[in-house]
Chain A
Amino acid sequence: MSPLISITHIVILVIMITAAFLAVVLRDLLSSVIALAAASLLLALEYYLLHAPDVAIAEAGIGAALTMAIYIFAIRATKK
């Protein structure tokens, strides 16, 4: 594996961990859900870099888009 690819992997994983941490820490529920979707989208990018484009498309469709929509519906049913 070339060093450039390794650096890309490490950068993506660090941003993913940051996004997951933000999803736990943020007080606003909508911002928290957006951080969770960002982590999921970066996971899809990581799958693509590891030569699994099939899994990457499924992860981007289900993990990032549909999960985020369902969380937003759940937030709509809560009180501020």
Chain B
Amino acid sequence: MNEYIAGASTLGYAVVAMFFLRFWRQTSDRLFAIFSASFWLLCIGRITVHAVRVADDHLHYLYLFRLLAYVLILYAIIDKNRAKPSARPPVSG
């Protein structure tokens, strides 16, 4: 059962990554490129966990994929808020 769920998730990450790739092409907003990269990493991370066949993903280096993926998302958010050359002061809240 677990195998099926994990397999479906792996595919899911890839499909989501594809969507973001497409949004990036349509809008040329960097945020989507970074999100896409992040979901590809999550997908590859899942594949690697299966390929290495660890019983559970206790091997921390495998989590570097996840870490990197989330650091990318964090970067995308920061990038989004920094890249705005707006003269207006930000509204708090």
Whether A and B are associated in the same complex: the answer reads no
Where the two chains meet, the residues of B that have a C-beta atom closer than 8 Å to any C-beta of A are none
